[in-house]
Amino acid sequence: MTDYQTHDHDVLVIGAGGAGLRAAIEAAASGVSVGLVCKSLLGKAHTVMAEGGVAAALANVDDRDNWRVHFADTMRGGQYVNNWRMAELHAREAPERVRELEAWGALFDRTDDGRILQRNFGGHRYPRLAHVGDRTGLEMIRTLQDHGVHQGIDVHMEVTILSLLMDGDRVAGAFGYDRERGRFRLFRAKAVVLATGGIGRAYSITSNSWEYTGDGHALAYHAGAALQDMEFVQFHPTGMVWPPSVRGILVTEGVRGEGGVLKNREGRRFMFDDIPENYRSQTADTPEEGWSYTQGDKNARRPPELLTRDHVARCIVREVREGRGSPHGGVYLDIAWIKERLPKAAEHIRRKLPSMYHQFKQLADIDITTTPMEVGPTTHYIMGGIRVDGDTQMSTVPGLYAAGECAAGLHGANRLGGNSLSDLLVFGKRAGEFAAKFAKEAHDTRIDAGQLEETAAIALEPFSRNGSPGEGPFQVQQDLQTMMQDLVGIVRTDSEMQRALEGIGKLGDRARRAGVQGNREYNPGWHTALDLPNLLTISEAITRSAIERKESRGGHFRDDYQDKDPAFGINVLVRKGAGGEMQLSREAIPALPPELKQIIEEMK
C-alpha cells in the first residue's frame, strides 16, 4: 500500500462551520480524540455569512414565547413533513445552546434590562432571533472557533475529502487531499460526522460560496446512506440582483424584520395581495399593523413581508413574470421609508443593519438609508439531505453521523430564517456526543488498501487529460449551474426536469473528459474537477426527487401540480442501488405522539 500521510482519530468531523465545530467541541469534551477537517481555513466556513440571527425561545422580548410555540412554528413552516422529533429537540434545546455561547464569550445585542435581545423573523410568531446586528454568523463561528482551539482538537485546514472508507457496512475513516501540496491524506476513525453544508453551487444564482458542492451528501450517498427530501431547496427571496457580479449575494431577512417592505415597480406592496390560508390569522391586515408589529407592538400581527421564504420568493417571481419587476429583474426592498416614522432613521438603519449598509454602498453604489434596494430570489439552502436519526444524528450507515445543513429532517419542506444557526448548535452538539459514544464502544476498523488506491488513481486522472482550452472543469460547472437554475429552479415542471436529467448525463460525460493544466499544488482547476462528480450526483438527486414529488409544498413548487397533496405527506428517499443507479422510494412519516399533535392543533 502506498505510504499516505495518516491521521488517527476516534471521531473525525468533516466540515468546520457551526455544526462541525460544535460537534468537535462536544466530542472532545467527552474525552475522545477528534480531528476536524476544513475545506477552507478555519473560521471561513459558510456560517460566517449568516446574518439575521439564531432562533431560540428565550422569551426575553416576548414572554409568551416558549419551546412549544417554536416547535409549532417550525412544523408549520416545514409543511409538516419535518422529522418531528428533531423539531421538538431543536425547540427545547436551542435556548440552552445560545446561553452556552454567551458563556464562551459571544456578545449578542442586549435588551434594555441587559438580557439577550431578540428580533422578528419570517414565520416566527414572536421576536425570537438572538443576534449581533446583521453579523450573527460571524459572532457564532468566531466564538466556537476561539473556544474550540483550546479543546485539543486536531484541525486539518484546506483539506478536501474524496471518499469515505468502509469496513463492511461500517464507516472506518476518510480519504482526501490537502490543497497546498496536493498530497493525499488518510484519516482513520471509529466514527465520522459529516457537517459539510449545502449544495448552492449547483445553481448559477446563489448566496453560497465555492465550497458548497454537496460533498457530504455525495460522500454519504456513495457510502450507502439514504438521502431524504432533496427536492426541497430554499430560494431566499432577497438576494442582490445588480450589478451582475454581485447577483445572488444575500440581503438579510433582518431588513424586513426591521420594517423593510417589498414593492413592485408600480410602488405597490404586493405581499398583501396573496396571503396563504394557514397564515391568514397571524398576518397583519394593514400596513399600519405590520409596522406596529416590527416596532414591538405585542397586539399587532406580522406584515406579509415576514411570511415564509418559499412564499415570498414565489410572490417576487410572480411580480417579475407579470411585468411589474424592477429594471434589473427583481423587486424593491425599501427600508429607507421608515424615516417617515422614526427620528434619526438613517442612523438607526446603519446601527441595525451595518453589513447591509456597507455591502450596498460598496458593491452597488446604493445608500440603503435613502434608496430602495433591488432584490430577487437566490439559491440559499437545502432542507433535504442525509437521513438521520432524530436523537443521535446517525445516518443509515453505522458510525456515520450528519449535522447542520447536510442533514435532513428538521426543516421539512421549508426552513424558517434563524432556524439554521440553532440547528447547527443543537444537532452539532448531539452528533458530537453520540459519535463519541459510538467511537468509545466501537472496535478498531480495517482500511481497505484497494479502495485508497482506486480513489487516488481516479483523482489524478484529470491531469492525464491535459485539458483543452474552452473545455475545462469551470465550463462544465457553469453549464451545470445554468441548466439547474433554468430547469430545476423555483418553478418546476416534469418536462423541464426530464430535460435536466438528460443534461446531467451529458455533463457527466463532459466532466469525465475535462482535463486540467498545471501541477497538484494549490490548483483550483483540479479542485473544481474533483468537486464536479459531487455536484452532478446531488443535481441528479434533486432532480429525481423533484420529479417524484408530484405536488407543491414549501420550497418545491410544481407548475404542473400546483397544490399540496395530502398523499405526499411523506419523505422521498434516494439510495444508491446495487448496480450504481439512483433508486427512489417514498417513506411514510411516523405518526406524531399525542402531546406534539396537541401543540400543533392548539396553535393552528
Partner 1 sequence: MAVEALKPDFADTGEQLEKQSASHKQEQVGRATFRVWRGDSTGGKLVDYTTQVTEGMVVLDAIHQIQADQANDLAVRWNCKAGKCGSCSAEVNGNPRLMCMTRLNDLNLEEPVTVEPMRAFPAVRDLVTDVSWNFTVKKRIKRFKPRPPDAPDGTWRMAQADIGRVQEFRKCIECYLCQDVCHVLRDHHKHDSFIGPRFLVYVAALEMHPLDTENRIAELKEAHGVGYCNITKCCTAVCPENITITDNAIIPLKERVVDEFFDPIARLVRLVRGKR
Active-site annotation, residues: 236, 256
49 binds partner 1 per the rule CB under 8 A = yes
150 binds partner 1 per the rule CB under 8 A = yes
Considering only 367, 440, 474, 494, the residue that binds partner 1 (CB under 8 A) is 474
Residues 157-196 binding partner 1 (CB under 8 A) are: 157, 180
Site string for partner 1, 345-384 (x = CB under 8 A): ----------x--xx--xxx--------------------
For helices 345-352 and 354-364, the axis angle rounded to 10 degrees is 100
* Residue 104 C-beta: closest distance to partner 1, Å: 7
Considering only 286, 468, 495, 517, the residue that binds partner 1 (CB under 8 A) is 517
105 binds partner 1 per the rule CB under 8 A = yes
521 binds partner 1 per the rule CB under 8 A = yes
CA 360 – CA 431 distance, rounded (Å): 38
Burial zone of 384 (CB within 10 Å; 0-12 exposed, 13-18 middle, 19+ buried)? buried
Q: How many alpha carbons lie under 13 Å from residue 483 in its C-beta half-sphere?
A: 24
Range in contact with partner 1 (rule: CB under 8 A) among 34-42, 170-178, 498-506, 548-556: 34-42
41 binds partner 1 per the rule CB under 8 A = yes
Range in contact with partner 1 (rule: CB under 8 A) among 436-444, 474-482, 559-567, 595-603: 474-482
- Give the H/E segment covering residue 302: none
Phi, psi of 241 (to 5 degrees): -115, -15
For helices 594-602 and 67-77, the axis angle rounded to 10 degrees is 80
Residues 191-230 binding partner 1 (CB under 8 A) are: 209-211
Nearer to partner 1, 102 or 285 (CB): 102
The whole-angstrom distance between residue 64's C-alpha and the CA centroid of its chain comes to: 29
> Which of 175, 170, 230 has the alpha carbon at shortest distance from 400?
170
42 binds partner 1 per the rule CB under 8 A = yes
* Residue 277 C-beta: closest distance to partner 1, Å: 37
417 binds partner 1 per the rule CB under 8 A = no
21 binds partner 1 per the rule CB under 8 A = no
How many residues interact with partner 1 (rule CB under 8 A)?
A: 67
Residues 6+ apart with CB under 8 A from 322: none
Considering only 7, 46, 411, 556, the residue that binds partner 1 (CB under 8 A) is 46
Range in contact with partner 1 (rule: CB under 8 A) among 279-287, 405-413, 448-456, 470-478: 470-478
CA 6 – CA 185 distance, rounded (Å): 6
Nearer to partner 1, 19 or 599 (CB): 19
Considering only 7, 9, 147, 430, the residue that binds partner 1 (CB under 8 A) is 147
Task: Count how many residues are written for the chain.
Answer: 604
Nearer to partner 1, 109 or 389 (CB): 109
327 binds partner 1 per the rule CB under 8 A = no
* Residue 578 C-beta: closest distance to partner 1, Å: 37
Residue type, 120: N
Rg from Cα positions in the chain: 23
> Which of 556, 536, 561, 534 has the alpha carbon at shortest distance from 546?
556
CA 203 – CA 297 distance, rounded (Å): 40
Residue type, 510: R
Cα angle 303, 305, 306; round to 5: 75
Q: Are strands 557-558 and 491-492 parallel, antiparallel or unpaired?
A: parallel
468 binds partner 1 per the rule CB under 8 A = no
Nearer to partner 1, 280 or 351 (CB): 351
- The strand order across the sheet containing 129-130 reads 54-55, 129-130, 118-119
Residues 6+ apart with CB under 8 A from 181: 520, 521
Range in contact with partner 1 (rule: CB under 8 A) among 27-35, 61-69, 469-477, 571-579: 469-477
Range in contact with partner 1 (rule: CB under 8 A) among 6-14, 197-205, 437-445, 522-530: 522-530
* Residue 410 C-beta: closest distance to partner 1, Å: 24
- Give the H/E segment covering residue 455: helix 449-464
12-42 CB burial, b ≥16 within 10 A, e <16? bbbbbbbbbbbbbbbbbebebbbbbbbbbeb
SS3 category, 2 = coil
Residues 6+ apart with CB under 8 A from 288: none
Nearer to partner 1, 180 or 347 (CB): 180
User: What residues make contact with partner 1 under the rule CB under 8 A?
Assistant: 40-46, 48-49, 99, 102-105, 107, 109-110, 113-115, 132-133, 135, 137-139, 142, 146-147, 149-150, 155, 157, 180, 209-211, 242-246, 249-250, 355, 358-359, 362-364, 467, 472-475, 478, 516-519, 521-526, 528
